[in-house]
Each structure stands twice: as C-alpha cells, then as structure tokens.
Amino acid sequence: MPATPLLLRLSQPLSLDGGGTLPDAQIAYQSYGVLNAARDNAILVCHALTGDHYLAGPHPVTGKAGWWDRMVGLGKPIDTDRFHVICANVLGSCMGSTGPASIDSENGERWGMRFPVITIGDMVRAQAALLDALGIDRLHAVVGGSMGGMQALVWAAHYPERVARALVIASAARHSAQNIAFHEVGRQAIMADPAWAQGDYDPAGPGPAKGLAVARMAAHITYLSEEGLTAKFGRQLQNRDAKTFGFDADFQVESYLRHQGLAFTDRFDANSYLYITRAMDYFDLAEEHGGRLADAFAGSAAVRFCLVSFSSDWLYPTAESRRIVHALNAVGAPTSFVEIDSPFGHDAFLLDVPALDAVVAGFIGRSGT
C-alpha cells in the first residue's frame, strides 16, 4: 500500500457555500487498486472529522495501520483487487489539503482564522473537482461513516448522476442541537487556551495543545457508549490501590481520556478542528429544500442506498438513519437499512464488527453500475 500522499492543486478557484471562492486549493488523496479500462470501478471513501486519506497500509505520521485498514485491501470487504479506491483529505483539514494552516498564495501568509468558513458541501465540491481531474465521471460507490456519511449523502443528493450507490454508516442528514452543543464546548476549550492567540499560532509549535486536548476528550466520550466504557473501565483505579483524594487521574477512564487528548494534539491542528466542527454543525441537507428531506433526494431515485446504524450509538442514533430511509422511500430510491447490535457506540464503524464487514461486502460487491 502507498504511504506517500498524492497531491492535486485544483485548476480553478473553488466556489464556497458561504460566498466567494478559495483560490489554489490543494487536495491530498490516496488511491488503492487499479482503475479499469471502462473507468467504472472507482469507489470514493469519505473520512470522518479527524480522519485522513490514509485508509490502508502504514500511516506515515502515526506509524499505525490506516484508519480503515481492516475494511480496504486485497480480499477485504472493499476489495482492491476489484475496485479502485480513492480517499481524499477533506478541505479545511491539516493532513495535506488546504486548510487554515496552509499558506494563502495571494499574500504568502498563513491563512489562520482568515480561512473561509467551509461546509460539507464545499468538501464534496472539492472531491468532485478531484475526480474530474482524475477522469472519473461516475463512481461505483461512495462510502462514508460519521462525517464521511454526510459527504456520501451530499454526493447522492447533489451529484446523483455520478453515483451508482451510496453507503452511509453511523451518520445523519443534519447535526442535532446536542451535537452542536458538544462541538461548541470543544471550540470554546480551544479558544480559551491563551496559546490559541486568536488563531495566530505556529502550527509547527505546541499551539493551544491544552485546549485541543480537552476538546478531543469531550468529543471522544460521544464516540463511545456507557456499556462499552463500563465493560472496559468500570470504576477501576489507575495503577493504585486506593483513591488519592486529589485531582490526579485516579480512575482508569480518566487516564484513558487524558491519553486520547494528548495523543491527538500530536497529529491535528486546532484551527482545523474549529473549522471542520463548524462545517458539521452547519450541515442540514433538508434546509435548502424548505426543511423537507425527501426533496433533497428528488433526483436520486436511480442511486442505490444502504444505511447502517449501531444500537449503542447515541451520537448518531438509529432514529437519524431511519429519517433518511423514510425520505429515500418517499422518492422511490432503492434503499436497504440495517441496525447492527454493537456495544462500541459510534466508533463501531472503525472497530472489528464482522456484521458490518458483511454488509459492506454485500452492498459494494453487487454487480452493475
């Protein structure tokens, strides 16, 4: 599997939903498998909030396997012996695509908080421009979990002629008030860190690491479930026999969250976290159609859909997937839906859940374009 990122600078300024354009946008991406002569075996996998384009094989930053290595590869559910798989780092991120840590070509200065606020639609528009440059007119499938699922929905709603099937895992058609609230806590933690300096910090330095770590800790809780936390940690103490009656990490779950927060600051940019969470908060696929979600899919009747939710996911619960299914049924789009029983919460789509493997392999592997 490749480890060196592929980079594409868009030939035209990218139009943005918030108004204006973004000049000289660069998209980092990875590809796996071979594009066939008919150019109809391409699958676009869209990553989640803090993910990147390293789907499979060794990750050059973390040294670990790519975030969906168990799902993408030879003989795996998304089989690279059959399909040409592409994953692009989203616009606004810090893993190679243009974001707030990038240099503004017009003045040679880092964008910082001058970077325009972006949307999920803008991310997909950049992906569409990437596929145009790669000569891929139509996708065998677009696949995504969490924020990646939001991108998959936008692909199916805005570019139905370019998508044969859409697999949406643990996602929603709009961000709820509760989700927005959690994101705001994280953003405020970052902006309250004196090292944030109104976003004018050096991304190569420590920056607002304390605030970003707290933001990650708060978000990480939403990716888990009470059942999973209890089974893994319960109220077990961390490397001690008794409580300290202080504010050290007495409990294993406290130590775990602190580790997750600190590890995150080594690989992610705080400003990117602000921008991407805001993009998710703005996401509401029905909003541009007077609040009627079915109308967003009015042109998607030819796209095959598969929706997957997890029983213990309270971030994007099953009710959110059912809402999408009802909207798709209303326009006659061929749709399948499954709720998978799992104790792992929202993060189940990243973990070893054999039932998900079977769903992905079955849906992706269907014949026809």
Q: DSSP letters of 265-282?
A: HTT--HHHHHHHHHHHHH
Mean pLDDT throughout 45-53? 96
User: 216-269 pLDDT, tens per residue?
Assistant: 999 999 999 999 999 999 998 898 889 889 898 889 999 999 999 999 999 999
> Among residues 42, 72, 79, 41, which one has the least CA distance to residue 57?
72
CB contact at 8 A, 296 and 286: yes
State pTM to two decimals. 0.96
Is it the case that residue 147 has pLDDT exceeding 60? yes
Q: DSSP letters of 296-346?
A: HTTT-TTSEEEEEEETT-SSS-HHHHHHHHHHHHHTT--EEEEEEP-SSGG
Rounded CA-CA distance 69/55 in Å is: 6
Instruction: Classify domain 179-277 by CATH number.
Output: 1.10.1740.110
Rounded CA-CA distance 334/357 in Å is: 21
Rounded CA-CA distance 287/119 in Å is: 13
User: 268-314 pLDDT, tens per residue?
Assistant: 999 999 999 999 999 999 998 999 999 999 999 999 999 999 999 99
Q: Which amino acid is at 227?
A: E
Q: What percent of the chain has pLDDT over 90?
A: 89
Rounded CA-CA distance 198/204 in Å is: 16
Residue 366's pLDDT is what? 57
User: 169-222 pLDDT, tens per residue?
Assistant: 999 999 999 999 999 999 999 999 999 999 999 988 889 999 999 999 999 999
313 is catalytic: yes
Rounded CA-CA distance 184/177 in Å is: 10
Residue 368's pLDDT is what? 42
Q: Which amino acid is at 35?
A: L
Q: Which amino acid is at 233?
A: F
pLDDT band at residue 120 under the 50/70/90 scheme: very high
Phi, psi of 125 (to 5 degrees): -60, -40
Mean pLDDT throughout 336-356? 97
CB contact at 8 A, 271 and 198: no
346 is catalytic: yes
Residue 257's pLDDT is what? 95
- Considering the candidates 146, 225, 300, 312, report the single residue annotated as catalytic: 146
Could you tell me the fold of the domain covering 6-175+284-364? Rossmann fold (3.40.50)
Rounded CA-CA distance 174/282 in Å is: 8
Question: 23 to each of 11, 126, 133, how far by Cα in Å?
Answer: 9, 12, 16
Q: What percent of the chain has pLDDT over 70?
A: 98
Question: Which segments of the chain does DSSP mark as H helices, in order?
Answer: 120-134, 147-158, 177-192, 209-223, 226-232, 252-265, 270-282, 293-296, 318-330, 354-364
146 is catalytic: yes
Mean pLDDT throughout 23-50? 96
> Among residues 109, 28, 91, which one has the least CA distance to residue 278?
91
Is it the case that residue 369 has pLDDT exceeding 50? no
Angle CA(67)–CA(50)–CA(55) in degrees, nearest 5?
Answer: 25
3-class DSSP state of 88: strand
Domain ranges of the chain: 6-175+284-364, 179-277
Residue 59's pLDDT is what? 86
Is it the case that residue 1 has pLDDT exceeding 80? no
- Considering the candidates 52, 193, 269, 313, report the single residue annotated as catalytic: 313
3-class DSSP state of 210: helix
Mean pLDDT throughout 347-364? 96
